[in-house]
Homo-oligomer: A and B are copies of this chain.
């Protein structure tokens, strides 16, 4: 968690409690730019989408946007036409309060599925938030969007573009129902860069691909996952488009930001005690590398073994073999935090060293396939009794 972080100019924040799921915490966040922004978003590929996702996917086509209103504690998914009505009302309440007539306020919800939003509490809370906009910090909004997260997730970066300091800041929340086949989680990124909408869209899509799409906590894909970005242009740099050299600089920093935010989600995986990086090297194809990495990352047996500091590398071999990718098991080397444990598909009797290596909090399981030149890394966390405890009693 960063304690000191810069925030792009022109953005204001509010965090308010509406007692959606529990009392005594903020569960609504408003992020607002006085200056209209260009926007981009990557959304869940789940067939079952929250009305808020459907709303945002449609409204993101607009040229102008002013911000987000987000609630935790209730995903407003599988709530029928009422859910869509509620989404529209949430957005409109912010727009009315801030006199926005020419651009969008996006709506995001996270929490339990299938329960109608308590609009009788949400609308007054949003109004209170609008009234005190600017009195809260970005960190306060990071706290308000938490569900089972154990810490707020915020990160910030700056980059010099034409002697101007561009700031990119983001918040995100985890920590269960995270799978690499989609956008993953709720994440809100804001920047004061001047950038074309198409360039912002391309940058975000590519950035999500190598960050939020490289993490997995339980292989499930949420109905609400969204990563969205707003750029208000307050910085005053010359406009960035995909042809300018500044695009690369901006993209590089955005990539770092999204990677660090995504890593925080894994670090805060439900019940997790360790992060795990699955590193696949030397695959015959990129797709093969990804499938192998994800199969290992999603293996409950691998993740419980890491939790138990059990150097049971046979489970890694087994997961690789079940990925639907062909390779020669007799060529495989496996390393745990640099300590080799398998050479050419066979154990080399280094279980004791591997067990010692598994005492670390950050575990790298590296697999050398020696089949080709394609590599990848996927991040996950260990699987513990606490994951079960957290998820066995979530709604009730």
Contact = CB atoms under 8 A, between A and B. Distances in A.
Interface string A76-101: 01111000000000000000000000
A46 B385 contact: no
Contacts of A112: 312, 314
Contact of A78 (B325, B327, B345): B345
Contact of A220 (B322, B325, B330, B395): B322
A268 to B, nearest CB: 17
B77 A47 contact: no
A19 interface: no
A311 interface: yes
B345 A314 contact: no
A305 B78 contact: no
A395 B181 CA distance: 32
A355 interface: yes
Interface string A215-228: 00011111100000
A392 B308 CA distance: 4
Given A77-B317, A388-B388, A301 B396 contact: no
A282 interface: no
A287 to B, nearest CB: 15
Contacts of A327: 47
Contact of A177 (B47, B318, B329): B318
Nearest to A327: B47
A299 interface: yes
Contacts of A223: 314, 317-318, 321
A346 B301 contact: no
A49 to B, nearest CB: 8
For the residues of A in contact with B, the DSSP-based class is loop
Contacts of A355: 396
Contacts of A321: 46-49, 221, 223
Nearest to A313: B114
Nearest to A329: B48
Contacts of A385: 385, 388-389
Interface in A15-56: 45-49
Contacts of A391: 300-301, 304-305, 308
A308 B392 CA distance: 4
A347 B114 contact: yes
A113 B321 CA distance: 13
A75 B48 CA distance: 41
A62 interface: no
A393 to B, nearest CB: 5
Contacts of A347: 78, 114-115
A93 B262 CA distance: 56
A67 interface: no
B395 A317 contact: no
A307 B114 contact: no
B392 A305 contact: yes
Contact of A395 (B46, B219, B307, B310): B310
A290 interface: no
Nearest to A179: B322
Interface in A287-320: 298-301, 304-305, 307-308, 310-315, 317-320
6 contacts: A47-B327, A113-B312, A113-B315, A219-B299, A312-B395, A351-B396
Interface of A: 45-49, 75, 77-80, 112-115, 176-177, 179, 181-182, 218-223, 298-301, 304-305, 307-308, 310-315, 317-323, 325-327, 329-330, 342, 344-347, 351, 355, 383-385, 387-389, 391-396
Given A77-B314, A78-B317, 10 more contacts: A75-B314, A78-B342, A79-B346, A112-B312, A114-B342, A223-B321, A308-B391, A310-B392, A310-B394, A384-B392
